[in-house]
Amino acid sequence: MKISIIIILLILTQGFTVAQNRIYESSANHKKNNLLKYQPSLKIDSLIGFYSQHINENKLSKKNKIVNRIDSAVYLKANSFNGSDKKIDTLKQVFSYSEAGNVITSINMLLVNNVWKNHRRTTDSYNLLNKPIYHLSEVWNGVQWGNEERRTYSYKNDNLFITQINEIWKDEKWVLVGKYETKYNSQRLLTNINEETWIDGNLTDKYILYIEYDMNLRKIKAVTEFWSNIGLNAYNVTTYTYTDFDEIESYKGEYYLDSRKINGMMLFNEYDRFGRLITTTGSYFEQEEEWKPTYLFNYEYDSNGNEILFEAKNFVDNNWADDQRRIQTYDTNNYLSTVAYERWDGFNWIKSRIEEYKHNSEGKEKYYLEANWNDGIFHDSHRIIHEYSNSGSLINYFLDRYIDDHWQEIIKRNYEYDADENLIFGTSEYWNGYWMPGFSNFQYQSNEWNYSWGTDYYQINVHYSKADVADYNTPYEYKLFQNYPNPFNASTEIYFSLPENGNVILNVYDILGRKVKELKNEEMTKGTHKLDFNSAGLSSGVYIYSIQTDNFYQAKKMLLLK
């Protein structure tokens, strides 16, 4: 069975997640270079992502600082554009802020006959830790603001997200439409999410997630239930195992409908002595059949830890048969240089396409070229050119296609910044025999704020002001961050955060569990701290660094390459 078919089946399987992400905090190269387009990747449910946002943000103890913040943004939207027949909406968004710099109100307005008219408004409020506790959405009816929907949030000890209540305005009153509830264990890890929806006058279970962890705080089991007003319809069961160094060793996911197992997927990973993924074996289960080997992924790396080869095989006639592969090269700075894709035709590797990359001295991509193989040669397809300012901000973007033996500009975008490198103006156009307003996912930001629009805007003007706002710099949770850089050659930086004063022990161990260096063993004050780890006297390999306090322990991997 072809891999692509398997992946389509998995996508169609509601709620299915695949634990083929590269271990926790893998090497930088693992994060940068994804697998071939059909390789499964870890898909965390959006609800978990939402709750994690509330749990993991480091909020800060109050002090003041001067920041650039966005007062308003005007952007143009082309609803239709046909020759000289243009229909363009001009929109504006205006913000107000709290003392701590949180957005309190956001008002959207439309330009009608050269007059700004109210359109929509959102209002938010926050607790003392800057977590949202109330969100109200309103629509302008021509005379006054009218309620549309609202969300209310609650927390445990002001920081752990507990409930979200969703309501809509109907028949001149607030009507409950849904509710989320969460639970945590003593280590503050999420163990339960329950989503309920309002049906026939009652809150009815819609989605329930249960998560179990081992003694090392690693997720080992997750059960996802899907409910309706008539009861439990289906559920997923996923289980995980790990290596001694916290890599995901195996993953097993099974989907049940009416208590009958419908399908499932099982993965097994192998790693080299540096902790790099070298083999993934996948098996698939469908209906009443037995587990069947389905695909095999192999990886190879260069001496710098860069992935240079990815091979995919199918299981055919009780043997592994070549299917596709990807070959990568890097420049002298270890930036990705070329990616060549090939497929197996049963006898030989056949070229498919090639990608070429060029980067500037800061590692930002400045040139991308894609060419497709046909009739024995590569034919240019398209290219992307990025141009940056001296300070590193993107100022021009060009997408060209190779048409009739010459390059034709298809999309061009331009960005302008103020003296503080805040984006103040952006345009997007595309070529259709003449230049038309293009579509762009504009993302405008200052050093403090980050907003983005959808894909149907072609021009934006942003206005900023400087503000004296409260900063919050004392973390409310313990956390050990991934070292940087990783992999590293001589030295690397290790950051960790402490929500309270206390004794801190930070050690480094080799792959056999032997302590090779004690970095810290003393009383430390609350806050975020940095330690420099020098690898003098150590050989190349995987090392484990850990932090321990009176009520917290966490360990992570780092890769030393000499």
CATH number at residue 134: 2.40.128.720
Residue 55 confidence (pLDDT): 34
Whole-number Cα distances in Å, 366 to 315, 386, 389, 544 = 40, 5, 12, 36
Residue 533 domain flag: yes
Question: Residues 135-144: what's their mean pLDDT?
Answer: 96
Per-residue pLDDT band at 161 (split at 50, 70, 90): very high
Residue 78 confidence (pLDDT): 60
Residue 417 domain flag: no
Residue 519 domain flag: yes
Question: pTM of the predicted model, to two decimals?
Answer: 0.72
The number of distinct structural domains making up the chain is: 2
> How many angstroms separate the CA atoms of 16 and 285, rounded?
13
Give me the chain's average pLDDT, please.
Answer: 81
Structural domain including 507 reads 479-560
**Is the predicted pLDDT of residue 326 greater than 60, yes or no?**
yes
Lowest mean pLDDT, pick from 24-38, 184-198, 211-225, 388-402: 24-38
Residue 65 confidence (pLDDT): 53
Find all residues with CB under 8 Å of 128, minimum gap 6, and list them.
158
Residue 11 confidence (pLDDT): 32
Q: Which of 311, 281, 276 is nearest to 296 (CA)?
A: 281
> How many angstroms separate the CA atoms of 54 and 129, rounded?
10
**Is the predicted pLDDT of residue 41 greater than 80, yes or no?**
no
Considering only CA atoms, give the Rg of the chain: 27
- Out of 14-28, 186-200, 476-490, the most confident range is 186-200
Per-residue pLDDT band at 439 (split at 50, 70, 90): low
Question: Residues 179-188: what's their mean pLDDT?
Answer: 92
Residue 310 confidence (pLDDT): 97
> How many angstroms separate the CA atoms of 387 and 481, rounded?
33
Per-residue pLDDT band at 290 (split at 50, 70, 90): confident
> How many angstroms separate the CA atoms of 32 and 336, rounded?
9
Amino acid at 489: N
What is residue 508's three-state secondary structure?
A: strand
Question: Would you say 417 and 393 are in contact if contact means Cβ atoms under 8 Å apart?
Answer: yes
Residue 3 domain flag: no
Question: Residues 346-360: what's their mean pLDDT?
Answer: 96
Listed residues 119, 152, 185: the one ending a domain:
152
Bridge-based pairing of strands 423-431 and 527-534 is unpaired
Lowest mean pLDDT, pick from 32-46, 148-162, 358-372, 439-453: 32-46
Residue 433 domain flag: no
Q: Which two tokens stand for residue 197?
A: 């929806």
**Is the predicted pLDDT of residue 266 greater than 50, yes or no?**
yes
CATH code of the domain covering residue 524? 2.60.40.1930
Residue 79 confidence (pLDDT): 56
Lowest mean pLDDT, pick from 55-69, 287-301, 363-377, 533-547: 55-69
Residue 17 confidence (pLDDT): 32
**Is the predicted pLDDT of residue 158 greater than 70, yes or no?**
no
**Could you please report the per-residue DSSP string of 325-351?**
EEEEEE-TTS-EEEEEEEEE-SSSEEE
Residue 477 confidence (pLDDT): 77
Per-residue pLDDT band at 193 (split at 50, 70, 90): very high
> How many angstroms separate the CA atoms of 321 and 314, rounded?
5
**Is the predicted pLDDT of residue 352 greater than 70, yes or no?**
yes
Residue 210 domain flag: no
Per-residue pLDDT band at 536 (split at 50, 70, 90): confident
Per-residue pLDDT band at 420 (split at 50, 70, 90): confident
Per-residue pLDDT band at 537 (split at 50, 70, 90): confident
Categorise residue 175: left if φ over 0, alpha if ψ from -120 to 50, beta otherwise. beta
DSSP state of 484: B
- Out of 35-44, 112-121, 335-344, 505-514, the most confident range is 335-344
Q: Which of 209, 182, 198, 181 is nearest to 15 (CA)?
A: 209
What is residue 142's three-state secondary structure?
A: coil
Listed residues 99, 124, 152: the one ending a domain:
152
**Is the predicted pLDDT of residue 381 greater than 50, yes or no?**
yes
Q: Which of 44, 49, 17, 45 is nearest to 161 (CA)?
A: 49
Residue 468 domain flag: no
Residue 476 confidence (pLDDT): 66
Question: Would you say 42 and 280 are in contact if contact means Cβ atoms under 8 Å apart?
Answer: no
Lowest mean pLDDT, pick from 33-47, 220-234, 247-261, 431-445: 33-47
In 10 A of CB 73, how many CB atoms? 21
Categorise residue 325: left if φ over 0, alpha if ψ from -120 to 50, beta otherwise. beta
Question: Residues 458-477: what's their mean pLDDT?
Answer: 67
Per-residue pLDDT band at 165 (split at 50, 70, 90): very high
Residue 534 domain flag: yes
61-111 pLDDT per residue, tens? 334 455 677 888 887 776 544 544 455 678 898 999 887 788 899 999 998
Question: Would you say 88 and 79 are in contact if contact means Cβ atoms under 8 Å apart?
Answer: yes
Q: Which of 262, 264, 268, 263 is nearest to 249 (CA)?
A: 268
Query: Is-cis flag, bond preceding 485, omega within 30?
Result: yes
Amino acid at 46: S
Listed residues 112, 132, 152: the one ending a domain:
152
Question: Would you say 164 and 179 are in contact if contact means Cβ atoms under 8 Å apart?
Answer: yes
Question: Would you say 49 and 59 are in contact if contact means Cβ atoms under 8 Å apart?
Answer: no
Lowest mean pLDDT, pick from 318-332, 438-452, 513-527: 438-452
